[in-house]
């Protein structure tokens, strides 16, 4: 079986198990990159081929290295399940520890500054969906007028893997919806994808450009981090925040609980030196 045929079969499997398009496209992209840069058919890659490929990319962050490693682990397990390959080279490569991720929420004052900056109306709506509903870029891109249920004060979010979740509609988003299409895409593609919505990358670029014009650090995903962190800082139960952020695991939500500067500062300020020496 040729390199392309194996990769095409793997891509077909992703469609069959209904994994998210972004997951599928990224895994295929990385596997093709490995095949090209290592100069081999990944179907028959040996542990040394994989380790040398890793070593050829010292610029990778720990997070990138971990992610790409997990893609290869999945690929070789799939080869075994399909009886295409008997052994698993990743066993000799070893495990890579997942780096601890910490949310990086936009600062409150920076969010205010961002919203005061002149920008296209639809870019502002993208920002509000990220900050007041915690939507990811891919969820913003595919948002439709039919997803808003004003009478019930809720909105439908189509998330990872085709999941659908209803979440409360923030009052600002209720007002925002009045100026957006009641049916169809909120962010239709202008030229490149007629009849379709904009891409995840397009949302990320639009919001990123707004941050740059405001001369402040930030991104669309950092607005989502602000959403989760602020909910917890304001006293929301971690299980409630898990549902609002649509995390499949509570572990993902708990990542937000230990990083708030406000809580750490408050804890330090409560230290009583005189009580300690009394």
User: What does the pLDDT look like over 206-244, one tens digit per residue?
Assistant: 999 999 999 999 999 999 999 998 888 888 888 888 888
Helix (H) or strand (E) holding 164: strand 164-168
Closest-CA residue to 244 (of 143, 168, 176, 141): 168
Q: Residues 32, 160, 170, 263: which is the catalytic one?
A: 160
Q: What is the pLDDT of residue 261?
A: 61
How many whole angstroms separate alpha carbon 102 and alpha carbon 72? Answer: 25
Please indicate whether residue 246 is annotated as part of the active site: no
DSSP state of 80: H
Please indicate whether residue 77 is annotated as part of the active site: no
DSSP state of 194: T
Q: Residues 69, 85, 110, 136: which is the catalytic one?
A: 136
Measuring CA to CA, how many Å separate 140 from each of 5, 19, 200, 202, 247?
Answer: 34, 18, 8, 10, 17
Please indicate whether residue 247 is annotated as part of the active site: yes
Q: What is the pLDDT of residue 1?
A: 55
Q: Are 141 and 202 in contact (CB under 8 A)?
A: yes
Give residue 164's pLDDT band: very low, low, confident or very high (50, 70, 90): confident
**Is it the case that residue 269 has pLDDT exceeding 80?**
no
**Is it the case that residue 259 has pLDDT exceeding 70?**
no
Q: Is 118 exposed, middle or buried (0-12, 13-18, 19+ CB in 10 A)?
A: exposed
Q: Residues 104, 144, 154, 221: which is the catalytic one?
A: 221
**Is it the case that residue 258 has pLDDT exceeding 60?**
no
Q: Are 154 and 173 in contact (CB under 8 A)?
A: no
Please indicate whether residue 160 is annotated as part of the active site: yes
Q: Are 229 and 253 in contact (CB under 8 A)?
A: no
Please indicate whether residue 136 is annotated as part of the active site: yes
CATH number of 3-93: 1.10.150.130
């499997």: which residue's tokens?
13
Q: Which residue has the higher pLDDT, 22 or 261?
A: 22
Average pLDDT over residues 203-207: 95
User: What does the pLDDT look like over 95-149, one tens digit per residue?
Assistant: 988 777 777 889 999 999 999 999 999 999 999 999 999 999 999 999 999 999 9
**Is it the case that residue 34 has pLDDT exceeding 90?**
yes
Helix (H) or strand (E) holding 241: helix 238-245
Question: First-to-last CA distance in the chain?
Answer: 78
Q: Is 126 exposed, middle or buried (0-12, 13-18, 19+ CB in 10 A)?
A: buried
Give residue 22's pLDDT band: very low, low, confident or very high (50, 70, 90): confident
Q: What is the pLDDT of residue 58?
A: 94
User: What does the pLDDT look like over 48-94, one tens digit per residue?
Assistant: 999 999 999 999 989 899 999 999 999 999 999 999 999 999 999 99
Q: How many CB atoms are closer than 10 A to CB 237? A: 10
Q: Are 2 and 44 in contact (CB under 8 A)?
A: no
How many whole angstroms separate alpha carbon 115 and alpha carbon 211? Answer: 10
User: Which two tokens mark 218?
Assistant: 């930030």
Measuring CA to CA, how many Å separate 181 from each of 3, 95, 147, 151, 172?
Answer: 45, 49, 11, 16, 16
How many whole angstroms separate alpha carbon 15 and alpha carbon 6? Answer: 15
């989760």: which residue's tokens?
228
User: Domains of the chain: which residue ranges?
Assistant: 3-93, 108-265
CATH superfamily name and code, 108-265: Intergrase catalytic core (1.10.443.10)
| Least confident residue range of 36-40, 82-86, 163-167, 272-276 | 272-276
DSSP state of 116: T
Q: Residues 224, 225, 227, 246: which is the catalytic one?
A: 224
Q: Residues 104, 144, 247, 263: which is the catalytic one?
A: 247
Give residue 14's pLDDT band: very low, low, confident or very high (50, 70, 90): confident
């Amino acid at each position: 079986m040729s390199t392309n045929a194996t990769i095409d079969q793997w891509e077909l499997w992703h469609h069959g198990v209904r994994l998210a398009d972004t997951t599928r496209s990224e895994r295929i992209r990385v596997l093709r990159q490995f095949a090209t840069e290592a100069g081999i058919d990944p179907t028959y890659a040996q542990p040394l081929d994989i380790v040398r490929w890793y070593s050829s990319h010292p610029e990778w962050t720990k997070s990138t290295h971990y992610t790409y490693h997990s893609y290869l682990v999945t690929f070789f397990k799939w080869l075994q399940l399909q009886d295409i390959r008997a052994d698993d080279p990743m066993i000799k490569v070893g495990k890579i520890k997942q780096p601890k991720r910490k949310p990086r929420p936009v600062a409150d004052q920076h969010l205010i500054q961002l919203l005061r900056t002149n920008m296209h109306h639809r870019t502002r709506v993208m920002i509000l969906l990220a900050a007041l509903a915690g939507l990811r870029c891919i969820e913003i891109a595919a948002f439709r007028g039919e997803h808003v249920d004003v009478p019930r004060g809720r909105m439908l979010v189509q998330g990872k893997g085709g999941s659908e979740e209803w979440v409360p509609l923030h009052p600002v988003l209720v007002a925002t919806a009045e100026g957006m299409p009641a049916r169809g895409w909120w962010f239709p593609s202008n030229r490149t994808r007629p009849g379709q919505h904009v891409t995840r990358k397009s949302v990320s670029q639009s919001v990123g450009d707004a941050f740059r014009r405001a001369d402040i650090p930030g991104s669309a995903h950092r607005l989502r981090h602000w959403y989760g962190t602020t909910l917890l800082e304001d006293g929301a139960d971690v299980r409630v925040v898990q549902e609002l952020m649509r995390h499949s695991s509570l572990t993902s939500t708990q990542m937000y609980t230990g990083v708030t500067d406000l809580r750490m500062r408050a804890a330090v300020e409560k230290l009583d030196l005189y009580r300690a020496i009394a």
